[in-house]
Amino acid sequence: MHRPFRFGLQAFEGATADDWWATVARTEALGYSTLFTSDHYFGPGRISESTGHRPVDMAPLVSIAMAAAVTSTLRIGCRVFACDYHHPVVLAKETATLDLLSNGRLEVGLGAGWVRDEYDGLGIPMDSAGLRIARLAAFVDLLRAHWSGHQIEIDNDFVHVDGFAGRPLPAQPGGPPIMIGGGAPKVLGLAGRVADIVSLNFDNSSGRLGASSILSSGAEATQQKLQWIRDGAGDRFEDVEIEIGAYFVAVGPSASDQLDAMAARFGVTADEFASHPHALFGTVDQICDTLQTRRERYGISYVTVAQRYLEEFAPVVEALTGK
């Protein structure tokens, strides 16, 4: 039995209030499940230019809180909070409050951080990947302890908290679902072990987006990532929802031309790029068939597209969710 499809929209842009409100309203009206923000703090400039990452306009918690206030069915979240940018208790209390006030519509994405130039630009030390992933695991334990409402007593290498019980209690029993994503063995093993949603992503250990990270995330690599998740999850693997970002999208008559251009850009054939799990090119029917095939092959039922594809991708959302 396959999970039903869900579709998220990740919003980076919206430099004016009107832009943001329009995006929020259209995301809910078009049937998307979730509106995600991004936990990055750089605008245009050197960091964006050196990493290949688009500048980010809106701060995550405030913008999704405002989105929740003007919607009724849209789920909200951040894809994903970088643990190094937050105190765990502050993040736990903020997310519990947001889940309560949104009537249980929050999803909490957590990550170990990866944009080295952003760390440097913010003046934050960037530890080794192993330490950052261990800190991520400690954050998960703290958030769930805080959301339980019981007295908190945690003292380890990364979290030192005691003397109080977490308040408020989230609306969702046990707290919001936690999403963890990545593209390497340690973080995906952890995600399989502790997350409710696992996001398949590039291996971004270089700290930059580029051809190497993209081409290392093809069909065969995705199968390997799923095995790392299985290894971590064990018997609970069937309870884990698998999400992926569709970063390369073209819907409609010009899709084949855009596919050819994108494949040439990365030095692969059109057929190779069309099979890339993060790419969706074709008519609405073709993309629906592709997504159903990938759900069969990889178990992917949750797909997130970027804000720039909001309207273009909406017919696929309607076809596969009936909304």
User: Running DSSP on this structure, what letter comes out for residue 70?
Assistant: T
Choice among 26-40, 51-65, 76-90 with the minimum mean pLDDT? 51-65
Nearest to 29 by CA among 314, 321, 320: 314
pLDDT at 130: 95
CA distance 298 to 309: 23
Predicted confidence band at 50 (pLDDT cuts at 50, 70, 90)? confident
- Burial tier of 66 (Cβ tally within 10 Å: 0-12, 13-18, 19+): middle
Does position 203 have pLDDT exceeding 80, yes or no? no
pLDDT tens, residue by residue, 129-173: 999 999 999 999 999 999 999 999 999 999 999 999 999 999 999
Q: What is the identity of the amino acid at 230?
A: R
Cβ pair 222, 183 in contact under 8 A: no
Beta pairing, strands 178-182 & 34-37: unpaired
pLDDT at 210: 56
Q: What is the pTM of this model?
A: 0.94
Q: Average pLDDT of the chain?
A: 93
Percentage of the chain modeled with pLDDT above 90: 80
Delimit the domains of the chain by residue range. Answer: 6-248+283-321
CA distance 188 to 91: 22
Q: What is the largest CA-CA distance in the chain?
A: 61
Does position 289 have pLDDT exceeding 90, yes or no? yes
pLDDT at 258: 95
The CATH architecture annotation of domain 6-248+283-321 reads Alpha-Beta Barrel (3.20)
pLDDT at 206: 53
- Name the token pair of 76: 């909200």
Predicted confidence band at 43 (pLDDT cuts at 50, 70, 90)? confident
